[in-house]
Amino acid sequence: MMYRALKNFLVGEPLASSHRVHEKLPRWKALAIYASDALSSVAYGTDAVLIPLVAISIAATSWSLPIAIGIACLLLVLSVSYWQTIRAYPKGGGAYVVAKANLGVYPALITAAALLVDYILTVSVSVVAGVAAITSAMPFLYDFRVVLACFFITLITLTHLRGFRETGKTTWFSIPTYLFLVSLAALILTGFSKLALGSLVARAPLIHEVYPDISLFLVLYAFSSGCAALAGIEATAGNVPSFRPPEPRNAKITLAWVAILLGGFFLGVTALSHSLSILPSARETMISQLGRTVFGDGFLYYLLQLSTALILYMAANTSFSDFPRVCSLLAQDRFLPRQFASLGDRLVFSNGILILGFLAICLVIFANGVTYFLIPLYAVGVFFSFSTSQSGMVRYHLKHREKGWMGALVINGVGAGVSFVVLLVIAATKFSHGAWLILVLIPALVIWFRITREHYRKASVQLALSGEADFMKPIKHVVVLPLSGIHNGVVNAIRYAKSISQDVRAVYVELDEAQTERLQVNWAKLETGVELVVLKSPFRSVIGPIVKYIRDVDSESPTDMLTVVVPEFVTARWWENIYHNQTALMIRTALMFERGKVVTTVRHHLSR
Q: What is the pLDDT of residues 249-276, one digit of tens each?
A: 888 898 899 899 999 999 999 999 988 9
> Alpha carbon 285 to chain centroid distance?
26
* Contact predicate 138/331, CB 8 Å: no
**H or E segment and range at residue 565:** strand 561-570
pLDDT > 90: percent of the chain: 19
Domain 477-605 has CATH 3.90.1150.10: no
Categorize the per-residue pLDDT at 17 as very low, low, confident or very high, splitting at 50, 70 and 90: very low
Residues 6+ positions from 240 with CB-CB distance below 8 Å: 86, 89, 90, 91, 92, 93, 247, 248, 251
**Considering only 153-162, 308-317, 576-585, which range has the smallest mean pLDDT?**
576-585
- Among 176, 127, 126, 119, smallest CA distance to 147 is for 127
- Record the pTM: 0.78
Model confidence band, residue 168 (pLDDT cutoffs 50, 70, 90):
very low
Question: What percent of the chain has a predicted confidence (pLDDT) above 70?
Answer: 90
Q: Which has the minimum average pLDDT: 217-231, 253-267, 371-385?
A: 371-385
Q: Could you give the maximum distance between any two Cα atoms of the chain, in Å? A: 107
Q: CB neighbours of 305 closer than 8 A, spacing ≥ 6?
A: 133, 134, 136, 137, 287, 288, 291
Superfamily covering domain 2-14+23-455: Amino acid/polyamine transporter I (1.20.1740.10)
Type of residue at 560: D
Q: Which helix (H) or strand (E) holds 479?
A: strand 477-483
Can you say how many angstroms the Cα of residue 377 is from the centroid of all Cα atoms in its chain? 15
pLDDT at 346 (0 to 100): 53
Per-residue pLDDT, 201: 84
pLDDT, position 380: 81
- Nearest alpha carbon to residue 270 among 85, 120, 443, 64: 64
Residue type, 490: V
d(CA 490, CA 519): 13
Tell me how far the alpha carbon of residue 395 is from its chain's centroid. 29
* Segments making up each domain of the chain, as ranges: 2-14+23-455, 477-605
pLDDT value of residue 559: 64
* Residue 416 to residue 505: CA distance in whole angstroms: 70
Average pLDDT, the chain: 83
Helix (H, G, I), strand (E, B) or coil at 564: strand
Q: Distance from first CA to last CA of the chain, Å, rounded?
A: 17
Q: What is the model's pLDDT at position 132?
A: 92
The whole-number pLDDT of residue 189 equals 94
Residue 434 confidence (pLDDT) above 70: yes
Question: Does residue 372 surpass a pLDDT of 70?
Answer: yes
